[in-house]
Structure 1
Amino acid sequence: MRRAPSTFALVLVLVAAALLLALALSSALQRRFGRQVVSDSYSRLALATALATDELASRPQDPAARQVLGSLRLLGVHVSDAQPPAPSVRRIAPALTAVARTAGSLLGDPSRVVATQTPDSQLWVRSARDLARWIVLRTPSYRPRLLDSALLLSVLAGLIALAAAGLAARLLTRPLERLAAQASALLAGTPTDAGLDGSPREVRRLAAAIGEAGERLRAVARERELMLAGISHDLRTPLARLRLAMELGDAGDPVRRAAMVADLEELDRALEQCLAFVREGRDEALQPTDLTTLAGQLLALRLQPDDWQLEGPAEVAVPIRPTLLRRALGNLMDNAERYGAPPFTVTLTRQADAIELGVTDHGPGVAPGLLPRLGQPFLRGDAARSGVGSGLGLSIAARAARLHDGELRLANRSGGGFVAILRLPIPRAPVPPAASAQ
């Protein structure tokens, strides 16, 4: 399998490429600007020298003129009656071509200036006094030295660019490396704040997200462990009774057979609650549902419906997950009947931003020390209410509230009894677009 490049290598290559591109563009612009400056200044000097030489060449009898012409010859400037040599295959330096072009423009006649390179670089300027006479200026070639200097500068610039790219890449990837090294600890819940000091904000946010994901995974693992422990505990007693009844041959006794059926129903309820707890209900779509009708249907299914009362508006339609909320409200009603005492009441209260579904009983309530822990998976209120059950009813109701962006509130009533309230926020209606002017 081909090994993927590391983040450090990718960042190093990107930064180095960006720096080298910037250096190349800067060098190109500098060469272009430098060539323009050189051609402008050198062409003026060359023209001044050529015009002065032409003036001196027109006075061959003047000893001083001959002396100056001799000095100029030593400097590479002489007068020639020959024609400029034909262009050779060798390419003329761009700088010399630019000088010739600028000098011709300054003279007003580009044909009077010719640049040659055979092999030395020369600038030929036609005399204004004698068209057969040319003033030849030898231009020294700095190209080899310029190439060497350019190569040396390029190498130095490349090394500097690579060093800067390496430093930048290290600064960018070191927090990621530290985060990768501490990812396992973050998932395990070990505090690693000190190890990420000085890291960018995005890395700290990623670390926080990994920590939250780890906490959720640990919570799911704890819930599964509790569920397995709860199932094994809840199923052990009914199974033991069924086994004993089968060994004793109680199937022929109607009373004992009814007890066996009750044990089977208890097993079925426990498994159903565990499955409901595992499924969560996240996949169920929101549907507009009348909560008053839903609560009335649940009241009609109670074994003692006369013990129940429904208080609230005639219709409360909101988008909910019907199956999930029906199960949550049913669990609250089951808890009221199992642990409380009649009369029972289901109340529907519509507020400005939420709807509250309350289930009230008139039983003994819950011990104050146990009240904050209610809603934890497989936690029963037996210490205060002596009953049976899977211990998942309130957990399922609390999860249903959270999936509706709401909450489950549990409290003892001031006049005696217990109240469980499902508070569900009312979704805001979308704002209609403004009508266009007619």
Structure 2
Amino acid sequence: MMPRSLLARTFLLLALLVLLTTTAWLSLFRYLEAEPRARDTARLAASTVNLVRASLLAAATDKRPRLFEELGSREGIRLLPAEADDRLTPLPDTRFHRLVLRELTASLGPHTRVATRVNDEPGFWISFRLDEDDEDEFWLVLPREQAAHNVAGHLLSWGLLAVILALLVAWLIASRISHPLQAMAAAAAAVGRGQMPEPLAASGAEELRRLAGAFNAMASSLERHEKDRSEVLAGISHDLRTPLTRLRLEAEMSIGDDNARHGVIADIEEMEAVISQFMDYARDESGETPIPTDLAALLRDVAERKRAAGYRVHLAPADLPELELRPKALVRAVTNLIDNAIKYGGGEVWLQAAASTDAVSIDVIDHGPGIPPAEAERLKRPFTRRETARSGPGGTGLGLAIVDRIARLHGGHLDLLPHPDGGLIARLILPLGPRLYKLR
């Protein structure tokens, strides 16, 4: 039932505090105000009854009907004779009305009756007698509002205004706490995708400023570490290629035994392949400009090149939308998945793609030993290999890491799923829409 965001939760708690405080204040005011208001109401009603009684006693008997008319027309007071069969509706059983009845009884005598309706006619009905020993009884009917207990309208208006202002201040307080945290959460998510976000503004409370400064320092350190690692990998890979080329030329010219020569050249080629993977991982793919790309044609070209190299790659045709892609990076990712499937999956590979409402998925399928689901995420990390099933001693552990990096570069992700008939489904998911990121 509680909202999930910090802004909503903080505002809800502050608003609840304001409402409870205002309700308690109004309840206390209503309780304290009831007794003096009830006393004033009873005194006014008793004074009216006493004045009317004095007027009737002073007037001649034949003049009393005329006096009744005058009081009704000029003062809004009605006088009616009380009957034995009158049907009475008593005052509501509230503290205010109990106080009014107590004060009227004390002022007018124990025989006083008070009602809100007599014979279904509404009003503030008060009974009295001209004399204590007189059997005749009269009803004095006052406006019904005099017996109502309502908190003054202007007080309610000021209370409502105070609540609104308090809620606005509560929203301001909650937003000043949550907005920096939201910005930090977005920046942390960007760092998790490999991006370098803009530095966070060090503003607000001291704790938030220190947190923003620490996060900026961490992000800067990660960027510097990633840049240093890429430069080291690129430098080492570049420096190794020259001696490897000399070794290959020396092997071809100096080794007379064909088997030995081919073995040395195969080792050199494997070393060059390892260096190529290092270079691919160190390369900043985000430097490539995204362009509208025919994904179906791109996959067809990759499959044809692999077939021309003698590999069995089966392409399932599909109707795919045109996407904003970095085509060289995507070709490298699909090629890595196909090479991985050829090396560890038995040599026969199926390449297929499909489009949904919000994404395009590219599947590279083989029927090799597969990858246990518990190992899938670990094997996408750099320099991670699984010796027993899908990796041999010549692997670098960078192939899947490169594909995962390129997937995140396009706002997507890589899934390694078990095939129902055995083997592996390497699924590259690319979202539809402008979600291309710049990785650092």
TM-score (norm 2): 0.45
TM-score (norm 1): 0.45
